[in-house]
A and B are shown apart, each in its own frame.
Chain A
Amino acid sequence: MKRTLLALALVGFGWSAHAQTLVKIGHAGPLTGPISHIGKDGENGARLAIEDANAKGITIGGRKAQFELVGEDDQADPRVATTVAQRLTDAGVKGVVGHVTSGASIPASRIYEQAGIPVITPSSTNPKLTLQGYEVTFRVIANDLQQGAAMARHAAQNLQVGKVAIIDDRTAYGQGLADAFADSLKQRGVQIVGREFTTDKATDFTAILTKIKGRQPDALFFGGMDAQAAPMLRQMKQLGIGARFLGGDGACTSEMIKLAGDAMSADTYCTQAGIPMAKMPGGAQFNERFKARFKTDVQLYAPYSYDATMALIEAMKTAGSAEPEKYLPALRKLNMQGITGTIAFDRNGDIRDGGVTMYRFSNGKWEALN
């Protein structure tokens, strides 16, 4: 009798464990190095989505699904990114949110393509990523072509600049953004008087800024991240360069304002792929919940990571399977209301309505212009 009970109990346990499927979702981004704050921000966004999905109790194909986040550190390094991609693939993740930087996303995408695992980047804006003919690459944010063109239009039409100097940090992101900006600017007949380069680890830009100063530009565009943009802006002031400062989304952060301090002025502009947090359909509420959970402000892409994670989960739910080959078609056809807006992809895997917003520094914060 006792034995039967025990056997029954064991069967019972077996059942309950069986009725739940464990679905691993990977996140890859820099958790160490100069932009680790942005990587952590993205991971937190994905984590919040996973916790929400688990709290809600989602069923996939009649079974209750338990989601688990596998977070990896790609150090924003192209070589580490491929290793990390392989590690996630080996860990049996069913989908990946990431990578954060274009320099990491592009080399890693080949590994996901071979393994057939869908990967949605919340923040890599280099156009190349989705133009490689891969089936599995998606993006929930506007790409650099759209961003660079928006800034060029603003510079030429609204700011009426005649001469522009451009600096980029030689990463896939910075270079892609700067090239898109330069191309669009040339079409508008604006003169590019200097094209200089730095690295994503530099802090001293006085030499290239001095060179640019000699060309007397009306505006300086920087394709790169806040950690370089802030000291660069300070050094512009120290060298007495009065040109306007234009940046992409990497410089469009609260960190930028904090780090650049009193070098920030009304002549500082940036673009953000996507729309301001305040204008996102679920922005205000997301910010509050994020702050309550992680005790820190949203840096940049957390809402996009959240949406990317939810897009994977939603596609799995629709397809009734967490197997990549089964839910991939559902992901292509996805039409979901996310925190950041409507998540639906075009033929390449790029987001359909990826907005770009212009910002100008005013009253101690970035203020959306349009």
Chain B
Amino acid sequence: MEIFLQQLVNGLVVGSVYALVALGYTMVYGILGLINFAHGDLVMVGAMSALQTMLFLMGVTPGMSPLAMLTLSLAVAIPVCMMLGYTMERLAYRRLRNAPRLAPLITAIGMSFLLQTIAMMLWGRNYHTFPQLVSTAPMQPVAGVFVTPIQVTIIVGSALIMAALIVLVTKTKLGRAMRATAENHRVAALMGVDTNLIIALTFVIGAALAAVAGVMYASNYGIAHYGMGFMPGLKAFTAAVLGGIGNLGGAMLGGVVLGLVESFGAGYIEHMTFGFLNSSYQDIFAFIILGLVLIFRPTGLLGERVSDRA
């Protein structure tokens, strides 16, 4: 039982980060129909610029409190990613908005390589130790389950951010403009919505989420690297598809489900297949679930809106 509960916690932690990143994919897809493959690398840029800030602060004011340092580094990482998100949209994607779908997709893949290479030049090839400002020492185990403060921070933090995002999209004027743009650019523009601005803001908000996810991810695992955004990016994209791409709730659900499937998959796949499959099939297991969901619900778990887009 405690093993089961522990796997549940493991899955929730991983899933929360996936969900946060998946939101960026899904928001951009919802509004543009574009899969922004460079989004995973924004996670890396977020973590790396936070790391750079922390190292700088440690050099200047060695006695700074961890909380202040974390806040300040987020205050740098988030705007950096936001600016990068805006720049990408403005320089690359906006020009291709009316081009065939393949063109922006390939451009996005190119952007991903570009970001990784620039990061490699800036920060080198080595892995960096990421300061664990929120403690990663396990707290007093409850029912045999070990939970660390950083894990609690990740789960609670991403839940709060996601709640805030839902409020933003459903209750505010900006959110209404975003939904209108997603439904139909031209009509939204005719109604007086500045669609260029709204699309740019969508990228910027997604990038901010990616920055937070990057800092959470790096804080949890204690390492940062120029290629660290690739895997979570891929998984988050999968999560977005699983939940129904274009749907905010779907991205969150998809992220958490994928995290849980991965951890339970790795933990129990051997029992379930009577020793036929082992944990080297961990990722395959996640994709089998994805395949099954897409066979029976082609638009993903919650993805109704995709059908009326096409």
Is B278 touching A197 in the complex (CB atoms < 8 A)? yes
Instruction: Enumerate chain A residues within 8 angstroms of B278, measured Cβ to Cβ.
Output: 195-197
Instruction: Enumerate chain A residues within 8 angstroms of B227, measured Cβ to Cβ.
Output: 33-34
Instruction: Enumerate chain A residues within 8 angstroms of B146, measured Cβ to Cβ.
Output: 238-240
Interface presence of A37 (CB below 8 A):
yes
Is B279 touching A203 in the complex (CB atoms < 8 A)? no
Is A227 touching B225 in the complex (CB atoms < 8 A)? yes
Residue of B nearest to A231 (CB): B221
Residue of A nearest to B280 (CB): A197
Is B279 touching A37 in the complex (CB atoms < 8 A)? no
Q: Which of B3, B120, B266, B278 has the most CB of A within 10 A?
A: B266
Interfacial residues of chain B within 259-306, with CB under 8 A of chain A in the complex: 262-267, 278-280, 282-283
Interface presence of A162 (CB below 8 A):
no
How many residues in B have their beta carbons less than 8 Å from beta carbons of A?
Answer: 39
Instruction: Enumerate chain B residues within 8 angstroms of A33, measured Cβ to Cβ.
Output: 227
**Pair count A-B, CB < 8 A:** 108
Residue of B nearest to A210 (CB): B6
Quick one: which of A34, A201, A207, A258 contacts B129, CB cutoff 8 A?
A258
Interface presence of B79 (CB below 8 A):
no
Instruction: Enumerate chain B residues within 8 angstroms of A240, measured Cβ to Cβ.
Output: 138, 141, 146
A166 to nearest B CB, angstroms? Answer: 12
- Cβ proximity bits A12-38 to B, threshold 8 Å, 1 near / 0 not: 000000000000000000011110110
Interface presence of B7 (CB below 8 A):
yes
Residue of B nearest to A197 (CB): B280
Residue of A nearest to B151 (CB): A238
Q: Which of A206, A237, A240 has the most CB of B within 10 A?
A: A206
Interface of chain B: mostly helix, strand, loop or mixed? helix
Question: Do A203 and B223 form a contact, CB below 8 Å, given A170-B280, A210-B6, A213-B6?
Answer: yes
Is A234 touching B266 in the complex (CB atoms < 8 A)? no
Instruction: Enumerate chain A residues within 8 angstroms of B265, measured Cβ to Cβ.
Output: 207
Instruction: Enumerate chain B residues within 8 angstroms of A227, measured Cβ to Cβ.
Output: 127, 223, 225
Instruction: Enumerate chain A residues within 8 angstroms of B187, measured Cβ to Cβ.
Output: none
Is A207 touching B138 in the complex (CB atoms < 8 A)? no
Instruction: Enumerate chain B residues within 8 angstroms of A234, measured Cβ to Cβ.
Output: 136, 221-222
Question: Do A237 and B127 form a contact, CB below 8 Å, given A206-B10, A207-B10, A231-B221?
Answer: no
Interface presence of B153 (CB below 8 A):
no
Question: Do A238 and B125 form a contact, CB below 8 Å, given A34-B227, A170-B280?
Answer: no
Instruction: Enumerate chain A residues within 8 angstroms of B141, measured Cβ to Cβ.
Output: 240
A92 to nearest B CB, angstroms? Answer: 28
Interface of chain A: mostly helix, strand, loop or mixed? helix
Interface presence of A208 (CB below 8 A):
yes
B214 to nearest A CB, angstroms? Answer: 13
Interface presence of A204 (CB below 8 A):
yes
Instruction: Enumerate chain A residues within 8 angstroms of B279, measured Cβ to Cβ.
Output: 196-198, 207-208, 211
Interface presence of B13 (CB below 8 A):
yes
Quick one: which of B13, B126, B127, B223 contacts A206, CB cutoff 8 A?
B13
B104 to nearest A CB, angstroms? Answer: 25
Instruction: Enumerate chain B residues within 8 angstroms of A259, measured Cβ to Cβ.
Output: 127, 129, 222-223
- Cβ proximity bits A33-48 to B, threshold 8 Å, 1 near / 0 not: 1101100100000000
Instruction: Enumerate chain A residues within 8 angstroms of B221, measured Cβ to Cβ.
Output: 203-204, 231, 234-235
Interfacial residues of chain A within 230-256, with CB under 8 A of chain B in the complex: 230-231, 234-235, 237-240, 255
- Cβ proximity bits B120-147 to A, threshold 8 Å, 1 near / 0 not: 1000011101001000111001000010
State in angstroms the CA–CA spacing of A276 and B127 once bound together: 23
B265 to nearest A CB, angstroms? Answer: 8
Residue of B nearest to A240 (CB): B146
Interface presence of A364 (CB below 8 A):
no
Is B127 touching A210 in the complex (CB atoms < 8 A)? no
Is B14 touching A206 in the complex (CB atoms < 8 A)? yes
Instruction: Enumerate chain B residues within 8 angstroms of A189, measured Cβ to Cβ.
Output: none
Quick one: which of A31, A207, A239 contacts B262, CB cutoff 8 A?
A207
User: Can you offer 12 A-B residue contacts whose CB atoms are under 8 A?
Assistant: A32-B125, A33-B227, A206-B263, A207-B7, A207-B10, A208-B282, A211-B3, A211-B267, A231-B223, A234-B222, A238-B136, A259-B222
Which B residues form the contact surface with A (CB < 8 A)? Answer: 3, 6-7, 10-11, 13-14, 120, 125-127, 129, 132, 136-138, 141, 146, 148, 151, 221-223, 225, 227-228, 230-231, 262-267, 278-280, 282-283
Which A residues form the contact surface with B (CB < 8 A)? Answer: 31-34, 36-37, 40, 170, 195-199, 201-204, 206-208, 210-211, 213-214, 226-227, 230-231, 234-235, 237-240, 255, 258-261
Given A208-B282, A226-B127, A240-B141, 5 additional A-B pairs, CB 8 A: A32-B125, A34-B127, A198-B280, A203-B223, A230-B222
